[in-house]
């Protein structure tokens, strides 16, 4: 199991030779990160993505309840996600 920080770029945590197998948890976490990265408002948030047995866990902080919901929705929209545990905290609460 790996913790994948978002929006950090992959070069420092994912070696080029580490090509995740389709259907693996690492592949799933990367797919969720791609979906989060596609939303401009989520790029400035501190989100960590973890996947275990097709369950995606979102942790970190976001600036509003709307962004927390949006991140969870984007994770749910990712193919092969079985469940999403949204542990994102809202800054200032």
**How many angstroms separate the CA atoms of 7 and 21, rounded?**
22
Per-residue pLDDT of the chain (93 residues; tens, 9 = 90+): 445 555 555 544 454 445 667 778 888 998 999 999 899 999 889 999 999 999 999 999 999 999 999 999 999 999 999 999 999 999 886
Q: Which two tokens stand for residue 12?
A: 């420092």
DSSP state of 65: H
Model's pTM, two decimal places? 0.79
| Closest residue by Cα to residue 34 from 82, 75, 88 | 75
Domain definitions of the chain by residue range = 4-90
Question: Do 30 and 6 form a contact (C-beta atoms < 8 A)?
Answer: no
Q: Per CATH, is 4-90 categorized as 2.40.10.120? A: no
Asked if 2 contacts 15 with a C-beta cutoff of 8 angstroms, the reply is no
> What is the DSSP-derived secondary structure letter of residue 47?
E
């Amino acid at each position: 199991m790996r913790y994948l920080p978002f929006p950090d770029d992959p070069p420092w945590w994912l070696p080029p030779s580490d090509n995740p197998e389709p259907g693996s948890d690492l592949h799933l976490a990367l797919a969720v990160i791609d979906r989060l990265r596609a939303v401009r408002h989520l790029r400035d948030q501190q989100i960590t993505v973890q996947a275990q047995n097709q369950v995606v866990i979102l942790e970190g902080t976001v600036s509003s309840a709307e962004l927390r919901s949006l991140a969870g929705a984007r994770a749910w929209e990712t193919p092969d996600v079985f469940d999403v545990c949204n542990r994102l905290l809202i800054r200032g609460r």
